[in-house]
Amino acid sequence: MNGRADFREPNAEVPRPIPHIGADYIPTEEERRVFAECNDESFWFRSVPLAATSMLITQGLISKGILSSHPKYGSIPKLIFACIMGYFAGKLSYVKTCQEKFKNLENSPLGEALRSGQARRSSPPGHYSQKSKYDSNGSGHSSFVTSPAADNIEKEMLPHYEPIPFSASMNESAPTGITDHIAQVKVNKYGDTWDE
């Protein structure tokens, strides 16, 4: 032994490094095909229907008098706005579906980055493998695998928040530091003022 304790189980999974996907990343041919497919499907199956529906609803609201039309341009500005919002809502609503298509690609660095990003979000920070201590394997060993280097990185990257002390005497309806005492100012018949 080299003087260090090895806390990993022999069958524990070690995470693969996440491929770096930056602005300089060049997608593979298969990824380009999926990008084009996502763009086409999000336009025809989400953006066009949502834009048309939002325009119809907007025109109905204008014709019923719930929305007012512009004195000079009529309903055109509101219809254009509704169309643009429907278009972008359709594009945004297709993002999860498109991510799933990339995750299903076999030899895709982008798909691998999405898969490993999802795995990291679903596991607790610093723990890469987690099994219940009540598993049927019968071992009494801890099944948490942690990396001291990963814990140090997490401590550096995550902000440290100090707890705010609670005081039962603080009034929630008034900001702190402001008292309820209001100075009484007296004025005599000559206009002179003084504090009490």
Q: pLDDT value at position 63?
A: 96
Backbone angles phi, psi at 49, to 5 degrees: -65, -40
Q: pLDDT value at position 177?
A: 55
Q: pLDDT value at position 22?
A: 79
Helix axes 76-93, 48-64, angle to 10 degrees: 150
For residue 187, the cross-strand partners are 193
List, for the chain, all residue ranges whose pLDDT scores fall below the cut of 50. 127-145
Q: Could you tell me if 103 and 47 are in contact, meaning their C-beta atoms sit under 8 angstroms apart?
A: no
Residue among 2, 14, 1 at smallest CA distance from 150: 14
Q: Could you tell me if 182 and 190 are in contact, meaning their C-beta atoms sit under 8 angstroms apart?
A: no
Cα–Cα distance, 18 to 120 (Å, whole number): 10
Cα–Cα distance, 55 to 90 (Å, whole number): 13
Per-residue CA distances from 121 to 20, 28, 85, 97, 124 (Å) = 17, 26, 30, 18, 7
DSSP 86: H
Q: pLDDT value at position 191?
A: 76
Cα–Cα distance, 33 to 22 (Å, whole number): 19
What's the whole-model pTM score? 0.52
